[in-house]
Amino acid sequence: AQTVTQSQPEMSVQEAETVTLSCTYDTSENNYYLFWYKQPPSRQMILVIRQEAYKQQNATENRFSVNFQKAAKSFSLKISDSQLGDTAMYFCAFMKLDSGAGSYQLTFGKGTKLSVIP
């Protein structure tokens, strides 16, 4: 079974600064996907960024980028130029593709609550 660990329950960052959220995972799979999701207060979950394990190049989406270290099983999220709207719970998630059944299942970490301070 896969596990995802987010070791920082809460973090804060000043507006316009940069912050990095940590995520580690445990798996025996070689091919998988990793995601960061954002859940603003009382609002729905939004996909922030995705990474395919077979790609060495780190994914980037505007102000969001990841540092994917496959050997270390680490997948951190960097938010640059933090904005007030970035205040949210951030969840790291792992997806193993069950090649037999083709099933998609996300395994989530417990989340990191990020507060952006004006």
Is residue 70 a contact residue for another protein (CB under 8 A)?
Answer: no
Q: How far apart are CB 16 and another protein at their closest, in Å?
A: 28
Number of residues that bind another protein (CB under 8 A): 25
Is residue 3 a contact residue for another protein (CB under 8 A)?
Answer: no
Q: Where are the beta strands (DSSP E) in the chain?
A: 3-5, 10-14, 19-21, 24-26, 32-39, 46-52, 60-61, 64-69, 74-79, 88-96, 106-108, 112-117
Binding mask 18-37 for another protein (x = CB under 8 A): ---------------x-x-x
Binding part of the chain for another protein, among 10-18, 42-50, 60-68, 69-77 by CB under 8 A, reads: 42-50
* Nearest CA-CA partner of 77 in 24, 17, 36: 36
